[in-house]
Amino acid sequence: MRPKWTKYDRATYLISAFLLLATCIWLAVKWKELPELVAMHYNFQGEIDRYGKKSELLIVPIFGWVLVLLLGVVSRFPKIWNTGGLELTDENREYVYKRLRYMLDTMMVLVSGVFSYLTVFTLTGENLPKAFLPVFILLLFGSMAYFLVPLYRKNKK
């Protein structure tokens, strides 16, 4: 069973693609102005702990595109998903697949947004805001809980 694309699916893919495309365009426009060495990694406190060549900046958007394309393919084949112990029946299969697909879509937008933010923010040469990692983790796991908790509650009934 291949799920039909919904408005939510389309919106999340468009948002992810827009974020990554805008980042790629921004990098192309700014490329000659970029310093040869840029911040490439931050520790848990948000402090820069590694510098690298500006060409390394291309890794993050490329990885983002691979992720979006991979999730696009995987979301079309829900039978290969690990549903985490949820009992799938003919009655709940469509609901479970849709909810899990929406979770993947949401995570894709969050990760695309973080990749884009990090690519652009890296060029400031400043440390990340202290709240960056906790906010990202909260958004990521909060969105997972939002989609998964109702599935497990409904499954127990």
Give the tens place of pLDDT for each residue, 22-42: 999 999 999 999 999 998 888
Amino acid at 87: E
**Residues 68-114: pLDDT tens digits?**
889 888 888 887 887 777 778 888 888 888 888 999 999 999 999 99
pLDDT score at 2: 65
* Cα–Cα–Cα angle for 70, 73, 74, rounded to 5 degrees: 85
**Nearest in space to 128 (alpha carbons), one of 50, 37, 52, 45:** 45
Alpha-carbon distance of 118 to 61, in angstroms, equals: 10
82 against 145, higher pLDDT: 145
Q: Which residues pair with 39 in a beta bridge?
A: 51
Q: How is residue 144 written in tokens?
A: 């997972």
CA distances 34 to 58, 64, 124, Å, are 13, 21, 10
In the chain, the DSSP E strands lie at 37-42, 48-53
Alpha-carbon distance of 76 to 2, in angstroms, equals: 6
- How far, in whole angstroms, is CA 62 from its chain's centroid? 13
pTM for the complete prediction?
Answer: 0.85
pLDDT score at 1: 57
Q: How is residue 53 written in tokens?
A: 């060549």
